[in-house]
Amino acid sequence: MAALLHLGNVRITQLRTDASLDDSDSALQLATRFLGVNLAEFKKWTVKKQIITRSEKIVTSLNAAQATVVRDSVAKFVYACMFEWLVAIVNESLAGENGDAADRAEMFIGVLDIYGFEHFQKVRIFSLC
């Protein structure tokens, strides 16, 4: 989780038409260390893209906006993997020793997520009691 927080703080700068990451950026150093990835490789593939044709590989530079999308996409992917892992662990622990339906009925966690809820101008909460 710390890697994700640091990843969001990685500064991407624009040098002429190309994006750049600073080796001395502490957020970049911590994020790559916590993720267990090579800093130079992460830096390279955040600011560059590769296209493979039949006869050659073409590597081009990204601008700062494109590199920011790459950085954010990596963070979203890692977050999604962590979430799936957490759900699997919770499901496994709720299944009980034998995975019986009776065990699952006694232990239940419900999660409600309303996408876009924060965009309502006025929210009314109703009580049924």
Q: What is the pLDDT of residues 14-52, one digit of tens each?
A: 999 999 999 999 999 999 999 999 999 999 999 999 999
Q: Is residue 37 part of a domain?
A: yes
CA torsion sign for 62, 65, 71, 75 is negative
Helix (H) / strand (E) containing 32? helix 26-35
Q: What is the pLDDT of residue 91?
A: 79
Q: Report d(CA 31, CA 2) in Å as an integer.
A: 8
Angle between helices 39-47 and 26-35 (to 10 degrees): 110
State residue 116 phi and psi, 5-degree precision. Answer: 80, 5
CATH number of domain containing 71: 1.20.120.720
Contacts of residue 2, defined as CB under 8 A and 6 or more positions apart, other chains included, come to: 30, 34
Q: Is residue 25 part of a domain?
A: yes
Q: Is residue 126 part of a domain?
A: no
Q: What is the pLDDT of residue 62?
A: 95
Q: Is residue 58 part of a domain?
A: yes
Q: Is residue 124 part of a domain?
A: no
Tokens representing 23 are: 């080796």
43: domain range?
2-119
Q: What is the pLDDT of residues 58-78, one digit of tens each?
A: 999 999 999 999 999 999 999
The 8-class DSSP code of residue 86 comes to H
Q: Is residue 12 part of a domain?
A: yes
* Average pLDDT in the chain: 84
Chain-centroid distance of CA 14 in Å reads 23
Q: How many domains does the chain have?
A: 1
Q: Is residue 128 part of a domain?
A: no
